[in-house]
Every structure is written in C-alpha cells, then in structure tokens.
Structure 1
C-alpha cells in the first residue's frame, strides 16, 4: 500500500520536524545563552523576538498556498533549517557569537515558520476530516515530544559535553552541529515517506487558489465572534509565555539567586525522560477524549489541566527543596551522574501531562477557527496571533522575574492564566466539534 493511505508513516516525523526547530530556536537557545553567560533580561528580550516569524507568517502564508505544492515547501524549509543549525554551531566559538547566532536563528525561524504553514496545510488537506480529531492528538504529542527532545535529550547531550570538555563554548558548538545533522536526517525521511500526491489539496482548495491575498485575509476577519476569538487566542498563553522563558533559568540558577541550582544534565534528564513520557500519555488521552465526546465537554477540564500545575512551581520557588538522590547512567562512552530533585520531577510530570492533555483542546479550537475556504491561510493567521501572544509577554518576562524574584514571579504567572480561562467560557462552536463520526 502507498504511504498516502498510512498516516502513521508520515504524521509523527512531519510534526517532529516542525517542533524540533521551534524547540531549539525558542527554548534550547535560552539554556545555551544562559550557560554562555548572557543575562536573563537579554535572554527574555532577544529570544522572544525570535517568535516574530511565527507572528507574521500569515503575511506570506497565501504565497505558500498559491505557489507550488506544500510538500515541496516543507522539504525545502527543513533543508534550510538543517544548514542554519550547522552554521550556529560554527559561529559559537567566534567573537560576537551572540549577534551572529541570533541572526542565523532568525533565518532558521523564518524557515521554520514557513515549514509550519506548509505542514499544517498538508495535514488539513490530505488527511480525511473524520480522521483529523484523532490524529490531532498524535500530531500534538509528536510535536511536543520534539519540543521535549530539544529541551531534554539535546540539553542532556550538551550537559554531558560541558562536563566532558569543561568548556561550555565547545560543548554547545558541537551540540548545535549535531542538531543540524539530525535535522538533515529527518528531512530525508520526510522526503521518502510523506505522500507525494496532493490531488486532494487541489480539489479542496481550488476556490482558495482563485482568491487574492487581500480577500483571504479579509475573510478571516469576517468570521463569527472574531473579536472574542482573537482576544482569547492572544491571552490564553499569557502565563505560559512567561513561564517557558524563565523556567530553565529558574532550574539552573543558584540558590542564592532563588533558583534550584540544577546542572544542565539534570534539566535534560527531567524533561527528556519523565517529561516525554507524561506528555505522550497526556496528548494521546486528549486526542481520544475529543474524538469520543467532542470539544465542548473537555475544553474546561483540559485548560485547567494545563494551568493548575503552575502551583507546583510556586511551591518549588518558595521551599527550594534539596536534591534527594543521584542518577548514575553509564552507557559505554556516555556517562551521567546528576543530582535529581524528586519534587521537581513530580512537578514537571504533572505540568507536561497537563500540557499534553490540555493543549490538544486549544489546537482543536484553532482548527475550528480555520474551518471553511482558505483553511491553510486561516490556520496560519490563528497560529500567528497565538505566537504574538507568546512573543510580547516573553520579551518582558526577564525584567518581571528580576523585579519580583522567582517566588512572586510564578504567582504572577498563575494569575496571568485567568483571563484566558474566563474568555474560553464565552466561545461558541458546535457542541460535538472534533467528535469522530460513528459512520464507517
């Protein structure tokens, strides 16, 4: 059988190829710059600016939709991303590495945002609608697994190299080169296994191809409840956007600065093993729940599952529990001996399970927002506003953290989740949206 009829062959790695660059550019860069001596304020501002390509990607999404196949687009963009990460690795030992690496990350960010547009459109138009709610959970899971592979396994690898060489510059240079090579392998896999026929795309979006850029954008802003919808998308991740920027610095900072004083390897272990497992289970459960009962029943429980675990970080910052055990792993040449904190592990497990479970509901709602003609461009617009809601608060997160301290910062982050929860209760959409049809 052709892989066109086997979504399991291409959906996981295609979404992994969307998430891994995002993880490296937005999250791993935070840890890298922290360990290379960049301040929290600069990290918050400049790494948050890397969100901009995802914010403005709707401006060129119609160009992607109207020119060439989406498969050609995402393969070309993934190749560019591979080269960019290699160049970042080579730039780290140089003078002015901060500006050089940021400039290259910007190129990778634009390519990654374009890859997302093409991949999302490919999924929406090639996969039958009745399968989308189930595979949304799988997409979300593998996307988040790629984020945690970046925050976990890649960071773990970098931490191992830091200890091996005693030189953070060399360690992160080698790490970024390895990421570039990994991305090249994933690109080759997607070239082989993604469906090569886009007949469904042409049939579904025939009318959209006849539209002008202006009409595509205008039709999005004529959608029902669009003011409320945009307000919800912008504020829903207000707390999370700040949490994600300052969480790694919190785990790495010394006790006298209010942090948990973990080493790079410990952060990698916590996110790359326990976090991946919890996220996988949460994402699969989220997709199954929506496909069986629809989004209406599960929206509030999912959103609460995403936000309540922030209370655990408030407790960690307040009590700062000490490490309770050491984890020793010796795999031939790869040896790890890191202190782990049981309370931190439990908090991360709960946070990642809740995120995997709850974020599925948020993304399902964005699919509803994109329903209708020009769904690829409309989905890009929706996710662009989502990225704007991540970028702006993230830019000031370092200043807020420095002003409040970690304890009060996490309290503020929890409070910042409330507006999105309130707005979600006023959204109107079909009761059974996302529910899998019982018809064979």
Structure 2
C-alpha cells in the first residue's frame, strides 16, 4: 500500500485537471478574449459530449493494458495543451483552440476510463475502499489548481503585460508541463496491472448491450432519467454564464472582476466551499440516510440560485460576492452528494453496476450539455437579471421530482427496482 500512495494522488489529480480546463476554464478564456456569449456557451457546452458518449467506447479498452492507456493519454494531453497554447497566438484562435479543446476532451474522457480501470485492477478490494476518499480529494485539488491557480497566474500575466492571449498561452503551457511531468513520473512508478485476458471482446460487447437493455427496461426508468436530466437544470442553465457575469464591466451588467480575482473567488474559495459541501453532505447522508437528507439538500442546491439575481440587481463588491458564491457552492456540494448517492444506488441494484453507473453519468452529462449550449443566447435575449430569474424557475422540476424519487428509493431498499436482472 505504501507504493500506492505515490500514484493514486497523481493519477486522480491528472484526471480532474483536463476536465476542469476544458469545461470550466475554457469559458473564462473565451470571455476574456472577447468571444460573444452565445457563441462561447454553445461551443464550450458542446465540449461535454465526449463524457456523455465515453460509455460507448469504454469496451474497446477491455483486455488492454490500462497502464499503457494511462501513459499514452497523459502524453497526448501534454501535446494537446501545447497546441492549444500556441493557438491563442493565431488570428483564427477560436477555431484552432476549440479543435484542441475537443480533442483534449476526447482524450481526457478516455483517460478517465483507463485510470478507473487501472484503479480496479492494480489495487485489491481493501486498497480500493481505503483510497476512494483520497482519489476524490486530489481530483478536487485539481479543480482548485485549474480554475483557481492557473486562472490567477493568467490574471497576473494579463495585468503585467496587458496581453490577454499571452496570459492564456502561458497557462496552457503550464498545464502541458504538468502532464509531461506526470507522464515521466508514472513511467517509473506505475506497476503493470493484471489483464483479464479470459474475457473475449465479443463477450465484452454482448455484456455491454445486455447492460444497456437492462438499464432502459428497469422499472421507473422514465422518472430515473428525468431526475438525472432535470435535478441540476437550474445550475446547468447558468453555469457557462458565470465567467462573463463576474468579469464583464459593471455598465454591461457584470461585476467587473479581474481575471485574478475571478480565479481567487470562484476558482479557489468557491471550490473549497464545494469540497466542504461534499464532505459534510457525505457525512450527513451516511448518518441520516437519503430519505431524510434529500429535501434539505435539494433546497440548498437550488434556492441559492436567487443569489445571482441579487448580485445582478445590486452589483455588490468582491467581499459580498465571494460570501454569496461560497454559500451557493457549498449548497451545490450538498445537493450533488444526494444526486450521486441516488444514481449509485440505482446502479448497485443491478448486476451491471459499473455499466449502469456509466450510463447514468453519461445522461447526467447530457443534462448539463444542452442547457449550457443554449444559455448564452438566452442571456443575450433577457439580460443578466431576467436570465437568472429564469434559472430560478428552471429549478422547479428538481423539487417536483423528489416525491417520485423517494418512492423509487424505497423500492431500491426493498430490492424491487430491476425487473430485468
């Protein structure tokens, strides 16, 4: 287990880093580079697609060395971030950087599959249980590094040079360097895992299609899918608009934050609050159970959306903004833990637990992608205040679904959910 401590933190830090850069940092980059909000949100929302679809190519990694895939995708990500960095120096930077981000998204989703596979094959059951919290912690640290520290570094360079493209070129070179170091480090530290060669490829695909059929023929599947799609609809509808709202000039309806301040408030304090919500949410769920926690958690997830309405109307200073955003992120951390517990229990109730969890997370990604793609056009039509009011109303389906979800969860406890197993 001592050696495991050397690679689990770095593997999962490396898993979180590209996801956050592609989905969270790219809207900040394009906002600072002056890309229109409707264009920015549409194309950065589309970047979720590889995580939605990764379940379809995950069987291709069966019977293959996960160590080789981990190393190969880390090297590829290092190269992709170099290309993204260089693209910001070109006149047609938007097209070339977007191609780079989409390529990075595809590689990152593949890296997720390889890393989780390596985790399950290289560690025994006892080690897997022990390191589950450790890997989550370092994934969250990657979120702070990417959306906090990298953004602040870009902000400092922007302030000192006045060159916004240069600031993001430097940030992407740093990301590339981190992956290059991980690649070299993991060559020496990752031991070869066992490969399940007894499973034939045709069996893998047969099992996949069987699991897919079982998922969509289970009882209450319509409610389950609706919950996965709409539980976070309010948050999904405005996520991509947070960077332009916080950084746009006050006369344009924004809060006028500098890039450096955005990285500190949203990318550092906000993520720490999110982590606190995750931790306390997990403790509460383990102590009191899903049925007692779901209502307060769904309230904490959605009600703080009204904070953005308040911010848009009153345009307060950085201190008040940081306090409200921290509380909103803390509530999101609580709410997301309840969501995770539900889809995990839906998955565990089936004999295809791993595949069903992958399908659920793919549907979750779709539920984030589509509202994100539309958010910029809605904001440009409504303005910030009315747009955030709309986001509050879009939270209503989350509340309406809870009574049905509680009935399903009661069936899960009784073992009556999956009629296809």
TM-score by length of 2: 0.87
Q: Give secondary structure in 1 for the equivalent of 2:145.
A: helix
Describe how 1:101-140 pairs up with structure 2 within 5 A: 101-122=97-118, 128=125, 139-140=135-136
Matched, 1:319 2:314: yes
Matched, 1:229 2:190: no
Are 1:18 and 1:112, in contact at CA under 8 Å, matched by a contact in 2? yes
Q: Which runs of 5+ in 1 are unaligned?
A: 324-340, 434-440
Distance of aligned partners of 1:367 and 1:242 in 2 relative to their CA distance in 1, 3 Å threshold: same
Correspondence for 1:418: 396
Correspondence for 2:342: 365
Give the stretch that moved more between structures: 204-213 or 13-22: 204-213
Matched, 1:27 2:5: no
Distance of aligned partners of 1:373 and 1:185 in 2 relative to their CA distance in 1, 3 Å threshold: farther
Could you list the per-position Cα deviations for residues 344-363 of structure 1 after superposition, in whole angstroms to 9, with x for gaps in the alignment?
Answer: 11012112222223212222
Which one of the candidate residues 10, 29, 35 is aligned to 1:38?
Answer: 35
Q: Please give the alpha-carbon distance, in whole angstroms, between the structure 2 residues aligned to 1:203 and 1:353.
A: 46
Q: Give secondary structure in 2 for the equivalent of 1:260.
A: coil
Distance of aligned partners of 1:176 and 1:316 in 2 relative to their CA distance in 1, 3 Å threshold: same
Describe how 1:241-280 pairs up with structure 2 within 5 A: 241-280=236-275
Distance of aligned partners of 1:295 and 1:101 in 2 relative to their CA distance in 1, 3 Å threshold: same
Are 2:63 and 2:197, in contact at CA under 8 Å, matched by a contact in 1? no
Q: CA deviation at 1:416?
A: 1.2
Q: Give secondary structure in 2 for the equivalent of 1:425.
A: helix
Describe how 1:74-93 pairs up with structure 2 within 5 A: 74-93=70-89
Could you list the per-position Cα deviations for residues 51-86 of structure 1 after superposition, in whole angstroms to 9, with x for gaps in the alignment?
Answer: 11112112112223x231444433432332222111
Q: Please give the alpha-carbon distance, in whole angstroms, between the structure 2 residues aligned to 1:280 and 1:119.
A: 22
Q: Please give the alpha-carbon distance, in whole angstroms, between the structure 2 residues aligned to 1:403 and 1:94.
A: 31
TM-score by length of 1: 0.83
Correspondence for 1:408: 386
Describe how 1:183-332 pairs up with structure 2 within 5 A: 183-188=179-184, 196-198=192-194, 209=204, 211-321=206-316, 323=317
Which one of the candidate residues 393, 398, 410 is aligned to 2:376?
Answer: 398
Distance of aligned partners of 1:167 and 1:83 in 2 relative to their CA distance in 1, 3 Å threshold: same
Could you list the per-position Cα deviations for residues 287-314 of structure 1 after superposition, in whole angstroms to 9, with x for gaps in the alignment?
Answer: 2223334333323322322222212111
Q: CA deviation at 1:40?
A: 0.6
Which one of the candidate residues 48, 51, 64 is aligned to 1:68?
Answer: 64
The alignment of Structure 1 onto Structure 2 pairs a total of residues equal to 409
Distance of aligned partners of 1:179 and 1:189 in 2 relative to their CA distance in 1, 3 Å threshold: same
Describe how 1:114-193 pairs up with structure 2 within 5 A: 114-122=110-118, 128=125, 139-188=135-184
Distance of aligned partners of 1:391 and 1:137 in 2 relative to their CA distance in 1, 3 Å threshold: same
Q: CA deviation at 1:258?
A: 0.7
Q: Please give the alpha-carbon distance, in whole angstroms, between the structure 1 residues aligned to 2:402 and 2:134.
A: 24
Q: Which runs of 5+ in 2 are unaligned?
A: 414-421
